[in-house]
Structure 1
Amino acid sequence: MKHLVIIGAVWPEPNSTAAGSRMLQLLSLFQNHEYKITFLSSATPSDFSFDLSSIGIQTKAIQLNNSSFDSIIKELNPNVVLFDRFMIEEQYSWRVMENCPNALRILDTEDLHFLRKAREVAFKQNRELVFEDYISDTFKREMASIYRCDITLLISEYEMQLATETFKIDTSLLYYLPFLSEKTPFNSASFKERKNFVSIGNFLHEPNWQTVLQLKKYWKSIKTQLPEAELHVYGAYVTEKAKQLHNEKEGFLIKGRAESVAEIYAKAKVLLAPIPYGAGLKGKLFEAMNLGLPSITTRIGAEGMHGKLAWNGFITSDENDFVEKAVELYTNKSFWETAQNNGYEIIKKRFKKELFATDFMNKIEHLQGNLKKHRNQNFLGQILQHQSLQSTKYMSKWIEVKNGK
């Protein structure tokens, strides 16, 4: 039985973040191909961390900047190691290379951090993004991480295009693997049975917080035209500044953590997601389509999701248009039902698990069987391994010695 080791930035919280759901999807892919899986992390589990042992996955706590990891990874002796985000690759890949040189190394980006950072800078300066915004320290670190790994998973078609066309990364080093759906569209609650608007997103994630601020700005105009409607804002880790936005009289309700997204989406009529910036795919919109809930979002929100298919509602970044479309989708049964069906079509044609699972695992098997040749062709990766990881390695050793004293 082959062995996969995942080194996680955090313990997965699928009910708190889209990244947590994504991680469980990856685990499922490897389990379905009879891999033994061990999940390692130096993070402290939270009350909401998923119980990985319940699905047969071994777990082990590790220490950052500590040589005890060397013994652990050598004993596990994995065939494949997956790094959860580039920061984890920076911290642990040199140890993996030294102790398990024949293990296939996979980087799961979650989303391209440098893209999200560039867009955040432009957004906060109230201007359009320019090429120079990309070239940050985050960009350099993330790019180096991509080259050092044998294969990098990108979740968005847009990010694949950006990586290959703008930054000329060879396609042999990248693999497009979006969110995966195993659900079959079901007979959800009808238009008449639903009421209220909903929004959802982890409050500690800055783009989600900015989305809530946009909603607060738009809501009064929507409420004026739909006085009986409420907006229910859900999200894990509610901050004090978010709680201050709660207003019963206005119908703007901060609800906190969602125990069941499926139950919330089944009762709501429209998802509002005026996402101003970000990267990757948006889990809230993916789940909305999966569960039959129409949405209104921005170009950034819908990016990489619908291809040439009609959206699951409306896409707009103009405030007045957003308000108009929200009212229209909330009140027009024909528009609403068409939007719901559009969402089902997007899931069926672009995100069904069977569209990707076999090809992905075949890619992993092929790389393992041709690893030496693959690495020899990635000469830039070898240069970066030799140069950049030396500084990481000796910094880590210095920190370990310092901590020991």
Structure 2
Amino acid sequence: MNQVKILLIIGFVWPEPKSSAAGGRMMQLISLFKEEGYDITFASPAMDSVYMVDLSALNVRKESVLLNSSSFDVFIKELNPSIVLFDRFMIEEQFGWRVAESCPNALRILDTEDLHSLRLARQRAFKEMRKFELTDLLKEDVAKREIASILRCDLSLMISEFEMDLLKSVFKIDKYLLYYLPFLLEPIDDLQLNDLPSFEERKDFVFIGNFLHEPNWNAVQYLKETVWPLIKKGFPEGKLHVYGAYPSQKVMQLHNTKEGFYIMGRAADAHEVVKKARVVLAPLRFGAGLKGKLVEAMLCGTPSVTTNIGAEGMLGSFSWNGVIDDDPQMFAKSAVVLYQNKERWLKSQLNGVRIVSRRFSKELFADDFKKTIQSLIINLEEHRLGNFMGAMLQHHTLTSTRYMSRWIEEKNKIR
């Protein structure tokens, strides 16, 4: 085991904490490992982005890597990390076998972000206009890839208790391969709550979400075509501001000032935008994981109206930060009542504060996570002996993927 604690994070994209919840999640993980004294390198095959975080300012080394290239093998052998963290299963598919071959003693962790197969299966069921069933997951090709990736890793970080339970019940994944680690937030104290804009100081509805994420685009379409007309019927003076990174032309075309439907594009400061709004609308009809927009609403003291998909994995035994309803008529009615009723609004705000403090406070999870990682590093050989299915998949992946990747590499040299 290395004397110097070295962590290699291989990212699907470079972190953009101001563009998506996934970017914010990655910053939380980096912070956790920094607190434990890890020397961190963040590598990615992705192109640089204008909105990517300045990793050097966090004292994190940035490294661009190539897909299907043996140059990665040289790089990781020289780095010799104690831990490799894969950002989403697609990255583990590409680089996991190389890590296992070049640094077999490195602890391999998968940060799932959300269950991609769950999101895609729900999306397919929605488009086919039928009810989603858990058995749909067993027919989803992405599920086969995703579950294989989870089995090949020593530990997979799950952001949602619902998804963790689903992996154990539907796919029979052993619980010792999974670790529940949701958003890691600082609780809101009374002073911070009092500093937030009051009910009277706030105005308008808001939706916020990255438009590269299909559930967000679908939700905005649904707002435009179905939900917002119902809200306007009960509240003619209402205005909705839709914010989100990477809006396409088809998103921008929904802008209509006469309808009070404003497409605003990327928010310079999402926190400020949500903090000034009175109610967040999030009529999500499919998706997975925890919804960053709804957690952000709670941190901003802004009540929200969402669906059961939107609130999934967040509530526990607590009351929601507003209203949960899947019926468009009731969703719209609840939105208007919440907007106009100060007493209900204040109660909803306090519900959100309670959820942040009791469900997602960093202090609830940080110490146990650090101890778990240290224990796994010390007992890695024994841990892996208990995961025969993972070892078998790793063996076949090394055999098959290695040759496919080398073939692609040689083919690329000829071009």
For the aligned pair, the TM-score class normalised by the smaller chain equals over 0.9
How do residues 240-251 of structure 1 correspond to structure 2 at under 5 angstroms?
Answer: 240-251=249-260
**2: distance between equivalents of 1:156 and 1:70?**
33
Between Structure 1 and Structure 2, how many residues are aligned? Answer: 405
User: Secondary structure of the equivalent of 2:57?
Assistant: helix
* Aligned residue in 2 for 1:123: 126
Structure 2 counterpart of 1:246, which letter?
Answer: H
Aligned residue in 2 for 1:62? 65
- For residues 73 and 179 of structure 1, what CA distance do their matches in structure 2 show? 29
Pick from 17, 21, 24: which aligns with 1:18?
21
Cross-structure match for 1:94: 97
- AA of the residue aligned to 2:389: L
Contact (CA 8 Å) 2:82, 2:106: kept in 1 or not? Answer: yes
* Structure 2 CA distance for aligned equivalents of residues 365 and 302 of structure 1: 33
- CA deviation after TM superposition for structure 1 residue 362, in Å: 0.5
Q: Which runs of 5+ in 1 are unaligned?
A: none
Instruction: Pick the aligned partner of 1:40 from 27, 30, 43.
Output: 43
Cα deviation code 1:173-216 (max 9, x no counterpart): 00000011025341211111110000001111100000101111
| Structure 1, 246-255 or 388-397: larger mean CA deviation | 388-397
Identity %: 58
Q: In structure 1, give the amino acid aligned to 2:407.
A: W
Alignment of structure 1 residues 160-199 onto 2, 5 Å = 160-185=164-189, 186=192, 187=194, 188-199=196-207
Tell me by how many angstroms 1:228 deviates: 2.3
Residue 49 of structure 1 is matched in structure 2 by 52
- Check conservation: 2:188, 2:356, Cα contact below 8 A: no
Runs (4 or more) in structure 1 with deviation over 6 Å come to none
Q: Distance in 2 between matches of 1:330 and 1:7?
A: 43
- What is the distance in 2 between the residues matched to 1:174 and 1:210? 31
Question: CA offset at residue 320 of structure 1?
Answer: 0.6
The one-letter code matched in structure 2 to 1:213 is Q
Q: State the match for 1:273 in structure 2.
A: 282
Alignment pair present for 1:352 and 2:361: yes
Q: What residue is the counterpart of 2:345 in the other structure?
A: 336
Residue in 1 that maps onto 2:116:
113
Q: TM-score w.r.t. structure 2 length?
A: 0.96
Aligned-residue offset at 1:308? 1.0
Any stretches of 5+ residues in structure 2 without a counterpart?
none
Task: Report the secondary structure of 2:257's partner residue.
Answer: coil
Task: Give 1:224 deviation, angstroms.
Answer: 2.6
Aligned-partner SS, 1:280: coil
Distance (whole Å) between structure 1 residues aligned to residue 101 and residue 245 of structure 2: 39
TM-score after normalising by structure 1: 0.99
Q: What is the Cα deviation at residue 391 of structure 1?
A: 1.9
Aligned-partner Cα distance in 1 for 2:378–2:78: 22
Letter in 2 for 1:194: R
2:85 to 72, 82, 85: 82
1:257-336 mapped onto 2 (5 Å cutoff)? 257-336=266-345
Give me the whole-angstrom Cα distance separating, in 1, the residues matched to 2:30 and 2:123.
31
Superposition RMSD in Å: 0.9
In the alignment, the residues of structure 1 paired with residue 120 and residue 174 of structure 2 have an alpha-carbon distance, to the nearest angstrom, of 23
Letter in 1 for 2:211: F
- Whether the 8 Å CA contact 2:234–2:333 is kept in 1: the answer is no
Q: Is the 8 A contact 2:97 2:397 kept in 1?
A: no
Name the SS of the counterpart of 1:249 in structure 2. Answer: helix
1:383 matched to 2:392:
yes
